[in-house]
Amino acid sequence: MTTFDPYAPSRDTTEGTVYSVTGGDWDSLVQEIGSTKEERVVVNMGPQHPSTHGVLRLVLELEGETVTEARAGIGYLHTGIEKNMEYRNWTQGTTFVTRMDYLAPLFNETAYCLAVEKLLGITQDVPERATVIRVMMMELNRISSHMVALGTGALELGAISPMFFAFRERETVLDIFEMISGLRMNMAYVRPGGVAQDLPDGAIPKIRDAVKLMRKNFKDNTTLLVGNSIWMKRTQGIGYLDLAGCTTLGITGPVLRSTGLPWDLRKMQPYCGYENYNFDVITADTCDVYGRFLIRMNELEQSLRIVEQALDKLEKLEGAPVMVADKKIAWPAQLAMGGDGLGNSLNHIREIMGTSMESLIHHFKLVTEGFHVPAGQVYVAIESPRGELGAQVVSDGGTKPYRMHFREPSFNNLQATSAMSEGGMVADIIGAVASIDPVMGGVDR
Amino acid sequence: MFGAQGTGDTSGYGGLARTAASTGSSERPYGSYFDEVADDLERAYPMFSEAIERVVVDRGELTLHVKREKLMEVSKILRDSLKFEMCMGVSGVNYPADAGRELHAVYPLLSLTNNRRIRLEVSVPDLDPHIPSVVEVWAGNNWHERETYDMFGIIFDGHPGLTRILMPDDWQGHPQRKDYALGGIPVEYKGATTPPPNERRSYK
């Protein structure tokens, strides 16, 4: 190197010259590499990189601008959630799983709770209102999750405006979540046996307004991107993966549906009463990034349709319970909004501290020890925004999970990075990874 | 439903000894499409009774307990003849009390053609934790097997690159085994060392 570049120092190793690139220093680096005879360059991209969709590390072998080998390195966000859950009771489990795939917390919670309910044998006893609320929340969550997928995907390919629109819509959804659960993310709202609390007063008209607003606002991104020639050039024919590739790699979700197979667990193996809602399964037949983009765009409208139907159902179920009737499972305290935010309802505190010793004992036992779940193992799969989210839960009859494993669609689908990007241009890896939409919190757990 | 059993420790940090009983075999008829799956497998695979140790139907789910020597044969037949095109991964379960079968590997299978699910379960002893890798049958199991190796130390023979995936490459031990305490490693920051949570005084 002729002049020292503080942003791209180099050192010689037995493997060849190694450059540490940290910022906008590509000119000097390209000049340097261009002067060598070496054709093959190994690029380590990430784990801290704005275009890798989180703390994902990509090791790329390049011949010129062609990718000959792409490998993904993960584990940078591993938090040991599955191990931790073995030391907490079944209800506390929801607060852990909600932090796995942090863009789709309600799906994690629902998959986990459906599995616990299946182990308890109370699937039929979960009140209908709770199930409808779950469906409504999941579909709103699907919108917010797809919005991040679209917005960050476009941003990573260099389009900034779609992200502004996408995050505006996501904000609308997060406001609804905050109104209902008190939290925008990681809300631990779905609990074994039902949901934490009923909708607040006036929630339904507010959600109806939000649905109307979103339906109008979605058009901004549609007009911006669908048919946009730059966008099509960056996405059409990129990240190709056909049906055979998807089945052998276990790929589900929008990537599988972009091959033309209408595989959606909401239709194929309905749960939470999805068979009672009218919606279409969106597919594409292009097997590429553009197809997956169109699927996500069109699924937004389908989710809005489901939300509207859920709201109709909720109006009819006004005042119905949202937690299973069995007091040995249902959380003893209903939360209430106080002057300092969401907390235990004062009426409940008054009862256990002032009038009923039995209630206090019951509350204490259920909260500290938790309920027992009969021994056995179940696997419950739901359709998350990214594909099949499976909860593999084993109980030994105790008050804590014996083993809890999440089959995360992000984790599984990220394996397709190599198949999608090898042989293509280095710039197209970004589009391919963005179309998988991996969420590293879910990948690493 | 209530009532302390064993030590009564509810904090989780007292080294609570826990055992999980394995359920016995189920009797025919299994119900649902499970009889059909079992019949089809028996027809396509004459060594069925040798390879399948137990058939368990519990909570509407079918589990085939497969001997590890026969796992590859059974997997190929399930994929090609019974159209279980997808394997949704593998997860380990550690049963320290189940002598000779301490480590279990659980494979949920999905058939897109017939819209069916079954589960394979393979159990191996702690001292010989080898299971043939099914990556050549279902390529998508690559990372799942690496994760199960990482977390449980089950060695998948024939895997194209069985290395740790979530934990650092030089990590000692397999964290999700039951004899691996929840805790962590001491963290040094600016000269002071914070002990792992299980060694802090408040949890003793």
DSSP letter for each residue of B120-136: EEEEE-TTS-EEE--TT
| CA angle B36–B41–B47, rounded 5-degree value | 145
Question: Which of B95, B115, B143 has the most A C-beta neighbours within 10 Å, making it the best mutation to test the interface with A?
Answer: B143
CA-CA distances (angstroms) from residue B139 to A60, A116, A199, A245, A419? Answer: 21, 30, 44, 9, 11
Task: Tell whether B155 is within 8 A of chain A (Cβ).
Answer: no
Are A278 and A305 contacting, i.e. CB atoms less than 8 angstroms apart? yes
Chain B, nearest residue to A389 by Cα: B88
Q: How many CB atoms are closer than 10 A to CB B155? A: 16
- H or E segment at A383? strand A376-384
User: Is residue A406 helix, strand or coil?
Assistant: strand
Taking alpha carbons only, the member of A437, A435, A445, A373 closest to residue A407 is A445
Q: How many residues does chain B have?
A: 204
Chain A, residues 392-411, CB within 8 A of chain B, namely 392, 394-400, 402-403, 405, 407, 411
pLDDT of residue B1: 46
pTM summary value: 0.88
Q: Residue A379 and residue B115: Cβ atoms within 8 Å?
A: no
Taking alpha carbons only, the member of B68, B63, B79 closest to residue A392 is B63
Residue linked to tokens 């940290």: A22
Chain B, nearest residue to A405 by Cα: B91
- Give the pLDDT mean for A88-104: 90
- Give the pLDDT mean for A277-304: 92
Nearest to A247 among B20, B86, B108 (CB): B86
Beta bridge partners of B25: none
CA-CA distances (angstroms) from residue B17 to A331, A365, B5, B8, B176? Answer: 27, 20, 11, 10, 15
d(CA A439, CA A445): 10
pLDDT of residue A27: 76
User: Is residue A185 helix, strand or coil?
Assistant: coil
Show Cβ contacts of residue B90 under 8 Å, excluding neighbours closer than 6 positions. B105, B106, B107, B134, B141, B144, B145, B148
d(CA B139, CA A72): 16
Task: Tell whether B158 is within 8 A of chain A (Cβ).
Answer: no
Q: Residue B89 and residue A399: Cβ atoms within 8 Å?
A: no
Cis ω on the peptide bond leading into residue A205 (within 30° of 0)? no
When mean pLDDT is compared across A21-25, A266-270, B162-166, the lowest value belongs to A21-25
Cα A232 from chain centre:
26
Distance from CA of A207 to the nearest CA of B (A): 35
User: Is residue A340 helix, strand or coil?
Assistant: coil
Chain A, residues 262-321, CB within 8 A of chain B, namely 263, 268-269
Q: How confident is the model at residue A306 (pLDDT cuts 50, 70, 90)?
A: very high
pLDDT of residue A349: 85
Report chain A residues whose CB lies below 8 A from the CB of B61: 378-379
- Give the pLDDT mean for B170-176: 88
Q: How confident is the model at residue A62 (pLDDT cuts 50, 70, 90)?
A: confident
Q: Residue A74 and residue B165: Cβ atoms within 8 Å?
A: yes
Does the structure show a pLDDT above 50 at B46? yes
Are B177 and A79 contacting, i.e. CB atoms less than 8 angstroms apart? no
Q: Is the dihedral of CA A73, A77, A79, A81 positive or negative?
A: negative
A197 DSSP assignment: S
A425 DSSP assignment: B
Q: How confident is the model at residue B23 (pLDDT cuts 50, 70, 90)?
A: low
DSSP B158-182: T-TT---SSS-TT--S-TTSTTS-S
Task: Tell whether B17 is within 8 A of chain A (Cβ).
Answer: no
Does the structure show a pLDDT above 60 at B19? no
pLDDT of residue A208: 93
Does the structure show a pLDDT above 50 at B13? no
Cis ω on the peptide bond leading into residue B196 (within 30° of 0)? no
Distance from CA of B166 to the nearest CA of A (A): 4
Q: What is the pLDDT of residues A380-420, one digit of tens each?
A: 999 999 999 999 999 888 888 899 999 999 999 999 999 99
Report chain B residues whose CB lies below 8 A from the CB of A407: 88-89, 91, 108
When mean pLDDT is compared across A217-231, A246-260, B183-197, the lowest value belongs to B183-197
Q: What is the mean pLDDT of chain A?
A: 87
Q: How many CB atoms are closer than 10 A to CB B115? A: 12
Cα A156 from chain centre:
18
Does the structure show a pLDDT above 60 at B7? no
pLDDT of residue B141: 92
Q: How confident is the model at residue A223 (pLDDT cuts 50, 70, 90)?
A: confident
Does the structure show a pLDDT above 80 at A307? yes
d(CA B86, CA A438): 20
When mean pLDDT is compared across A62-71, A204-213, A268-277, the lowest value belongs to A62-71
Nearest to A412 among B19, B21, B89 (CB): B89
Residue with the bigger pLDDT between A114 and B49: it is: A114
Beta bridge partners of A10: A19
Q: Residue B108 and residue A250: Cβ atoms within 8 Å?
A: no
Q: How confident is the model at residue A1 (pLDDT cuts 50, 70, 90)?
A: very low
φ and ψ at B92, to 5 degrees? -95, 155
Q: How confident is the model at residue B22 (pLDDT cuts 50, 70, 90)?
A: low
Nearest to A249 among B5, B140, B165 (CB): B140
φ and ψ at B48, to 5 degrees? -45, -50
Chain A, nearest residue to B137 by Cα: A248
Q: Residue A248 and residue B139: Cβ atoms within 8 Å?
A: yes
Nearest to A247 among B2, B85, B166 (CB): B85
Report chain B residues whose CB lies below 8 A from the CB of A270: none
Bridge-based pairing state of the strands A376-384 and A387-395? antiparallel
Q: Is the dihedral of CA A269, A272, A277, A279 positive or negative?
A: negative
Distance from CA of A329 to the nearest CA of B (A): 10
Nearest to A376 among B10, B18, B23 (CB): B23
Chain A, residues 335-374, CB within 8 A of chain B, namely 365, 368-372
pLDDT of residue A6: 62
pLDDT of residue B14: 46
Buried b (16+ CB within 10 A) or exposed e, B55-87: bbbeeebbbbbbebebbbebbebbbeebebbbb
Nearest to B108 among A263, A376, A392 (CB): A392
Q: How confident is the model at residue B204 (pLDDT cuts 50, 70, 90)?
A: very low
pLDDT of residue A139: 94
Q: What is the mean pLDDT of chain B?
A: 83
Are A174 and A185 contacting, i.e. CB atoms less than 8 angstroms apart? yes
Distance from CA of B106 to the nearest CA of A (A): 9
- Give the pLDDT mean for B152-162: 92
Q: How much of chain B exceeds pLDDT 90, in percent?
A: 38
Q: What is the pLDDT of residues B92-129, one digit of tens each?
A: 999 888 888 889 999 999 999 999 999 999 999 999 99
Q: Residue B18 and residue A398: Cβ atoms within 8 Å?
A: yes
When mean pLDDT is compared across A123-132, A348-357, B80-89, the lowest value belongs to A348-357
Distance from CA of A321 to the nearest CA of B (A): 23
| CA angle A47–A49–A52, rounded 5-degree value | 80
Distance from CA of B160 to the nearest CA of A (A): 14
Residue with the bigger pLDDT between A431 and A35: it is: A431
Residue with the bigger pLDDT between A357 and A13: it is: A357
pLDDT of residue A311: 93
CA-CA distances (angstroms) from residue A335 to A125, A325, A332, B65, B69? Answer: 21, 17, 10, 44, 54
Bridge-based pairing state of the strands B130-132 and B116-124? unpaired
pLDDT of residue B193: 86
Taking alpha carbons only, the member of A41, A43, A42, A44 closest to residue A57 is A44
